[in-house]
Amino acid sequence: MDRRDFLKNVCLFISSGAFVGGLSPEVWAKMIHKDYDPAKHYYGMGIDIDRCIGCGRCMQACKTENDVPDVPYYFRTWVERYVIKTDRSVTVKTISTSLEDPADTFVEKDMLRSFFVPKLCNQCDHPPCVQVCPVGATFKTDDGVILVDEKRCIGCRYCIQACPYGARYLHPKTRVADKCTFCYHRLVRGLLPACVEVCPKQARVFGDMKSIASPLGRFTRMNKTHVLKPSLNTDPKVYYANLDGEVN
């Protein structure tokens, strides 16, 4: 190694090793899955409250597809039952995926209105969870999905605290933060997220916001939509139709 090479390497050493090994980000992006290009998509979900029957199949399918612990309280997606009484009191309860713990099925006394609200990570455009992560383990992909790098996450739970929608939990086995990924491994293969796949009433609609002809395009065109906690400026990409004002 001569002096010139040595100095060159010292310069490279001080700057970063970004292009070492000939792997530029563009080349790497192509390796995610076959010819899938994240920059060409931008995903969102629509949920029609008037269609949800509260069967909990989405919750079960999500647990199966993503190996979420099969006990209550660990959910990537869940369904809340709202009961509003004539005295305007609101009761909210997450429904169960098993029939052993049945929801109260009778007409409740003094019930004004009642409905189910499916919830999941809102895949915010301005995600608070990404801001607070001290090690940069959670990030937004080019196709608009918020992911957690399991290898980098230190399990400090900041993001769980920061999420205004309660969409994250600490995985009891891996001890890192876990959340809905819109079934990212299915998206790259052109499949729908598992919850959308099994929903018997098409209460969940999934699509690409960059394409006008996607089911989500029609959903946002035909419905008056709303997002959860709009005042927080998180810009969620999960849109609700026929949402009640009591839902937060």
Partner 1 sequence: MKGFLNKLPEQAIRVIVVFLVLAAGVFVIRQFIIPPEMKEPTLQKLSSMEREADKEVKYAGAQACGPCHEKQHDIKKTGYHRDLSCESCHGAAQKHADNPTDVKPTSPQKRDYCSYCHTYNSSRPTGFPQINPDTHNPRKPCITCHDPHNPKPPQTPRSCTACHAQIERTKAASYHALLGCTVCHSTPEKHKLSPRTVTPTKPDTREFCGKCHDKASPGKGVPAVDMNAHGEKYVCWQCHYPHMLGGI
Chain residues that interact with partner 1, rule: CB under 8 A = 9, 12-13, 16-18, 20-21, 23, 25, 28-29, 31-33, 36, 38, 50-57, 61, 64-66, 81-83, 99, 102-103, 105-108, 111, 114-116, 136, 139, 141, 147, 149-152, 181, 184-186, 188-189, 191-192, 194, 197-202
The secondary structure element, H or E, covering residue 221 is helix 215-222
SS3 115: strand
The owner of tokens 């959340």 is 179
Compare residues 86 and 233 and give the one whose CB is closer to partner 1.
86
Phi, psi of 158 (to 5 degrees): -55, -45
Q: Report in angstroms how near the CB of residue 217 gets to partner 1 at its nearest.
A: 19
- Residues forming beta bridges with residue 80, ordered by sequence position: 94, 117
Smallest distance from partner 1 to CB 232, Å = 25
CB of 111 to partner 1, least distance (A): 6
What is the closest distance, in whole angstroms, from the C-beta atom of residue 231 to partner 1 in the complex?
27
Pairing of strands 146-148, 169-170: unpaired
Which residue, 50 or 235, has its beta carbon nearer to partner 1?
50
Q: Which is nearer to partner 1, 130 or 238 (CB)?
A: 130
Q: How far is the CB of 50 from partner 1 (least distance, A)?
A: 6
Residue 168 Cβ, how far from partner 1 at the closest point, in Å? 16
Q: Are 116 and 82 in contact (CB under 8 A)?
A: yes
Q: Which residue lies nearer to partner 1 by CB, 200 or 230?
A: 200
CB neighbours of 84 closer than 8 A, spacing ≥ 6? 90, 91, 111, 112, 113, 114, 244, 246
Smaller CB separation from partner 1, 147 or 227: 147
Rounded alpha-carbon distances, angstroms, from residue 132 to 127, 135, 159 = 9, 9, 6
Both structure tokens of 74: 């660990």
3-state helix, strand, coil in the chain (%, to 5): 25, 20, 50
